[in-house]
């Protein structure tokens, strides 16, 4: 509720401000978003790995009331050709930071499961991902925070796991599961976010102001105004 009150406009509910491709230009990106006419008034910034945690906290302190930080360990670690399935060792050394910054973070994310065959096709890899996912879901309950969830090639099992653990506040990011699975998530009270790529069918480097592209596309599909979508 506090986030909504402070924002008073469009919120980018899932952005990677501490991602390496933004490191050299983060100040210009954020400054541009804050003053342009995009209508974006707040950014919920997720992380993919523990080494981003301190960076995203510092960024939120540099832009108070605009950048809202989340902590999470993504189911895939590394980048490019070095992507690999997450291990519990990728989470454990950073668990103390969830406690240290529990009053600063607004959600646990980006967490989840990614069973893409060429990245996590063994039972051992998938079991390890599940351990990391469940540990972070339990953390979210302990800290009374919502979760921001990635579920590629694993939508059904991710949603079932969340329901079994009693998760009630979840945002499913870039969801690509079956409609029946999506409806199961809706019935559980979960929400969905849609990136600008939904209107382009391609992945490009994204910036928070582009959230208006998603608003316009959703409005077109639903036959309502963009203002109605952003409200």
Is residue 110 annotated as involved in ligand binding?
Answer: yes
- DSSP-assigned letters across all residues of the chain: -HHHHHH-SEEEEEE-TTSGGGGGGHHHHHHHHHHSSS-EEEEEE--SSGGGHHHHHHHHHHSTTTEEEEE---SEES-GGG-EE--GGGTGGGHHHHHHTTTT--EEEEEEEE--TTTS-SHHHHHHHHHHHHHHHHHHHHHT--EEEEEES-HHHHHHHHHHTT---EEEES--S-HHHHHHHHHTT-EEE--GGGGTSS-----GGGHHHHHHHHHHHHTS-HHHHH-
Is residue 74 annotated as involved in ligand binding?
Answer: no
Is residue 173 annotated as involved in ligand binding?
Answer: yes
Residue ranges of the annotated binding site for a divalent metal cation are 14, 16, 110, 150, 173
Residue ranges of the annotated binding site are 14, 16, 110, 150, 173
């Amino acid at each position: 509720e506090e986030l909504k009150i402070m924002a008073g406009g469009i919120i980018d509910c899932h952005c990677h401000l501490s991602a390496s491709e933004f490191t050299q230009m983060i100040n210009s990106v954020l400054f541009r978003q804050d003053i342009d006419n995009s209508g974006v008034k707040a950014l919920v910034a997720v992380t993919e790995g523990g080494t981003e945690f301190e960076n995203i906290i510092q960024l939120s302190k540099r832009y108070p009331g605009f950048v809202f930080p989340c902590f999470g360990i993504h189911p895939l670690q590394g980048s490019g050709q070095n992507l690999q399935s997450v291990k519990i060792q990728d989470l454990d050394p950073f668990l103390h930071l969830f406690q240290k910054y529990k009053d600063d973070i607004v959600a646990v994310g980006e967490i989840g499961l990614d069973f893409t065959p060429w990245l996590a096709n063994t039972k051992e890899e998938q079991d390890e991902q599940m351990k990391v996912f469940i540990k972070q879901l339990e953390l979210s309950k302990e800290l009374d925070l919502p979760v921001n969830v990635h579920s590629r090639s694993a939508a059904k099992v991710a949603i079932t796991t969340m329901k079994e653990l009693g998760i009630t506040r979840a945002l499913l990011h870039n969801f690509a599961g079956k409609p029946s699975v999506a409806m199961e998530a809706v019935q559980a009270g979960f929400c969905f976010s849609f990136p600008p790529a939904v209107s382009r069918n391609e992945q490009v480097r994204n910036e928070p102001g582009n959230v208006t592209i998603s608003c316009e596309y959703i409005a077109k599909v639903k036959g309502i105004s963009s203002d109605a979508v952003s409200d």
